[in-house]
Structure 1
Amino acid sequence: MQIDRDATLAFDVYGTLIDPHALTPVLTDLVGGQAAALSQLWRQKQLEYSFRRGLMRDFVPFSVVTGQALDFALAATGLRLDDADRVHLLDRYRSLDAYPDAAPALRALAQLGVGRQAFSNGDPADIVALLRAQGLWSDLQGAVSVLPVGTFKPDPATYAHFCASTGARPESCWLVSSNPFDVIGALGAGWRAVWIQRDPALPFDTWGVAPTVTLNTLADLPKLIAG
């Protein structure tokens, strides 16, 4: 399937453009051999807490969710950080590394003229700062955060908010995400979706729906744009 040039691509940030586990080397310096496990649990709880808060209508900014998830992960693994290290770690979360395929793909898509927006659960200022720091911002046309809606993806309200913010019609929107829950949410909102399967061993969620397109890397995305 090809993507029309008048489509709007909505790029998930954490896990798609930006590596949420990029701080593992920093964690290694702080906690040694438990760094990878800590990073995995931190990310798992970050997502779980965002889902819970969405369901409970108990919204806090994503930066707060991220801090609370870190605190749980530390407690669950029996690890401790002093206050200065915790603050430093959360500050570094605002400058995570991009995946190597992100910048070249966005540059190629910009040259093709297709619409390109970041779409994230993250706080607006954090998203823009992060994308600027990794050299991705100049090849995007903007960023939409869920913050004004007061809930998190995959709540249908977040996808409606994206359309209202950008003026894009649902049928012209394509989500680009490595997160199955996000892909499922977008499909439910009447969008189409590209799942970036960053882990070949990880299947798509058994939800009764399938991504419109599955790719292993963002590098293949420009090839889908109709000529």
Structure 2
Amino acid sequence: MINNKRPKVLFFDVNESLLDLSSMKKSVGTVLGGREDLLPLWFSTMLHYSLATTASKQFTDFSSIGAAALQMVAANNNITLNTKEAKEVMKNFSNLPPHPEVKQALTKLKKAGYKMVALTNSSSNGMATQFKNAGLTDFFDEKLSVQEFGKYKPDTEVYHWAAKKLGVQPKDCMMIAAHGWDVAGAMWAGWRASFIARPGQQMYPLAPRPEIVQTDLLKIAEKLTSLEKE
């Protein structure tokens, strides 16, 4: 059931949630022998090993994990891909376009007076480049990268750290993401959440249900702007 009071801070996931990863299909497909269909497997493998890194109390930047994951997917499909070639593909990660409704949605939320923060697994420099190229920089009050903390989402401590950085309690935070694992992690950390049900994305059935579930960010923005101010 939706809480009728506005959260104090909106936290946004970046990759796939705000930025459209489908533009990576061509570059990933090129190095994987035309297998553009392997893009989702590559991205999920990258997320898998970012979590393995955190669970093992290690930290490697997201781009390097992405390149390594690309080599793993290539090897499993009998495709030869060296480290240099894999890292070259990752450069395209910095030039992802926003989903079509994102700028309109962020404009609506900003005009409504919401404090908006990006919270991403990408590196600080990587996020800055992504936002500059996508034209999203000015929408956000803060931009937080897990690189600063040394652990990846959805580790509970990442959400606690982000809340403390903004000087708010977990209950006053809302995570907005297109990843079931991200909204689940946020809710388990005591946050509120909204799920962007983009094609191919699903909520985790064993996690609490987010307050808002919509097919795009603009529909979520419309719900959020209708909530009562404290």
1:215 is matched with which residue? 214
The whole-number CA distance in structure 2 between the counterparts of 1:61 and 1:85 is 17
The whole-number CA distance in structure 1 between the counterparts of 2:53 and 2:84 is 27
2:18 is matched with which residue? 17
Q: 1:117 to 1:150 in 2, by over 3 A?
A: same
Q: Is the 8 A contact 1:6 1:115 kept in 2?
A: no
Q: Is the 8 A contact 1:132 1:138 kept in 2?
A: no
2:119 is matched with which residue? 119
How many residue pairs end up in the alignment? 225
Show structure 2 runs of 5+ residues with no match: none
Q: Is the 8 A contact 2:107 2:139 kept in 1?
A: yes
Q: 1:183 to 1:93 in 2, by over 3 A?
A: same
The whole-number CA distance in structure 2 between the counterparts of 1:24 and 1:202 is 17
1:153 is matched with which residue? 153
Q: 1:3 to 1:122 in 2, by over 3 A?
A: farther
Secondary structure of the corresponding residue to residue 184 of structure 1: helix
2:9 is matched with which residue? 8
Q: How far has the Cα of 1:6 moved from its partner? A: 5.9
Q: How far has the Cα of 1:59 moved from its partner? A: 1.6
What does residue range 128-147 of structure 1 map to in structure 2 within 5 Å?
128-147=128-147
2:95 is matched with which residue? 95
The whole-number CA distance in structure 1 between the counterparts of 2:26 and 2:47 is 22
Show structure 1 runs of 5+ residues with no match: none
Q: Is the 8 A contact 2:103 2:136 kept in 1?
A: yes
The whole-number CA distance in structure 2 between the counterparts of 1:119 and 1:48 is 18
The whole-number CA distance in structure 2 between the counterparts of 1:16 and 1:220 is 13
CA RMSD of aligned residues (A): 2.0
Q: 1:32 to 1:17 in 2, by over 3 A?
A: same
Q: 1:53 to 1:176 in 2, by over 3 A?
A: same
TM-score, structure 1 length as denominator? 0.90
What does residue range 155-170 of structure 1 map to in structure 2 within 5 Å?
155-170=155-170
TM-score, structure 2 length as denominator? 0.89
The percent of aligned pairs where both chains have the same amino acid is 24
1:61 is matched with which residue? 61
Q: What amino acid sits opposite 2:26 in the alignment?
A: P
